[in-house]
Chains A and B, each alone.
Chain A
């Protein structure tokens, strides 16, 4: 069996949507169970007294990265066929800042707002409505902003390409950063959380 399964024609569009639904529900369930359906828990990240968001998200990134790397080395996964979102440096930095401001002010990111909505939280519902409204505004204003949106296209850029380093070295470096980050995050939690 070779992966990506969809790219190798193991299933079609309809089945891929079904699988996406199951994975999405599972993702949302574990987000909520981890406490990420609560705006208080999420914004604690920005007050530095609870670094769970950083730890969970970074450990998810590292787990996925190691999985992709090992499966690629074993010949199970064709890494070249994995879809990568193209890089548009300027627009994506601005988009990231906007999302970050929204995250701090509202207490959710898009995924966690849906997890919050699923448990009936009214702030999550308001947030989800905001996502719809923002999507419509973006779509309707696309013609006016499309030059900026497509500015600085760098294609599907990866860290090994950007730094001109072997894949394995970058993976090892990211793991080291993660381990160091987890240690540092725990120290900050103890210091800030303990001071309260």
Chain B
């Protein structure tokens, strides 16, 4: 397969092939957001067991269920042969990131659902006796530990696979980087943290999420630097691919929407928020989320425009 693509024997590949439209970047963004929400839910459940304060962990799993479903719809819309989607689940291919992703997505649903039930207010859960019993059972320490572990494991898996999915496609030199997996994971964590501190009502929880988002944004900046340095110092094809973002047609979109508006500016605002020099504002988290979406759009579009010389 790689030979077919790299020796230009496939008329659909050369000189460039844009088979992925808006659906894939939207799915990658929503998947990353849910991944971040799951990891943060797990962390908050571990950090604050049995809290009676209003906690975003009650809400995040339900939001996650909606978002991952919307992402699945986007993914489904992208499929060429929609009726054969079930075949993804008739096999498991351990060497295929797409197969891993398909199964991780299936695993994400019950974990989110159980985490959501565990966080239901007693008045709501007890409206139906079996639900109340399940919610109480899930809040016991052994079940809670399992939920924490499942949230973090599936969250990390979902977040990192979206990047590995791209980096495993050898035909596109821009994606030929091992940094993409961690980059998409950290971007998802940042998006999740931004959304969580935007909706958090408890000041302590909001502050913790805000500080964690700043850490994620700094890490994302470092990973972007590594991603570009790695590509620019590799072979001719990767260096040409990197030039798409370093002076080429995707430069302004990448540096303005992803790095400037999506990371540096909100990091500056959130640093002021973290040190209480300005009040909490919705602008910074919304910029972070916009930056996460822009990152997927730019990487997917620029990747499809990169090719082997």
Contact = CB atoms under 8 A, between A and B. Distances in A.
B54 interface: no
A156 interface: no
Interface size class of B (residues with CB under 8 A): 10 to 19
B252 A120 contact: no
Contact of A17 (B252, B261, B279): B252
A162 interface: no
Contact of A25 (B252, B265, B279): B265
A15 B219 CA distance: 25
- A-B pairs, top 9 by smallest CB distance, nearest first, are A120-B281, A17-B252, A14-B251, A21-B256, A14-B252, A120-B283, A18-B255, A21-B260, A120-B282
10 contacts: A13-B252, A14-B247, A15-B251, A18-B255, A21-B252, A21-B261, A118-B283, A119-B281, A120-B279, A120-B282
A3 interface: no
A46 B256 CA distance: 36
A188 interface: no
B281 A18 contact: no
Contacts of A66: none
A81 to B, nearest CB: 22
Contacts of B278: 119
Contact of A117 (B247, B260, B279, B283): B283
Contacts of B260: 21-22, 25
A22 B265 CA distance: 11
B249 interface: yes
Contacts of A117: 283
B248 interface: yes
A153 B173 CA distance: 51
Contacts of B248: 14
Q: Main SS of chain A's interface residues?
A: helix
Contact of A15 (B247, B265, B279, B282): B247
Interface of B: 247-249, 251-252, 255-256, 260-261, 265, 278-279, 281-283
Interface in A1-55: 12-15, 17-18, 21-22, 25
Contacts of A15: 247, 251-252
Most buried by A among B249, B251, B261: B251
Given A25-B265, A119-B278, A18 B283 contact: no
A44 B279 CA distance: 25
A14 B249 contact: yes
A153 to B, nearest CB: 31
B200 to A, nearest CB: 16
A18 B251 contact: yes
A15 B283 CA distance: 26
A14 B302 CA distance: 14
A18 to B, nearest CB: 5
Contacts of B252: 13-15, 17-18, 21
A15 B249 CA distance: 10
A119 B249 CA distance: 31
Contacts of A18: 251-252, 255-256
Contacts of A120: 279, 281-283
Interface string A117-140: 111100000000000000000000
A118 B269 CA distance: 9
Contacts of B249: 14
Contacts of B255: 18, 21
Contacts of B283: 117-120
B281 to A, nearest CB: 3
Contacts of B251: 14-15, 17-18
A59 B181 CA distance: 51
A14 B252 CA distance: 5
Given A14-B247, A18-B255, 15 more contacts: A12-B247, A14-B249, A14-B252, A15-B251, A15-B252, A21-B252, A21-B255, A21-B256, A22-B260, A25-B260, A117-B283, A119-B278, A119-B283, A120-B279, A120-B281
A13 B252 CA distance: 9
A104 to B, nearest CB: 26
Contacts of B282: 120
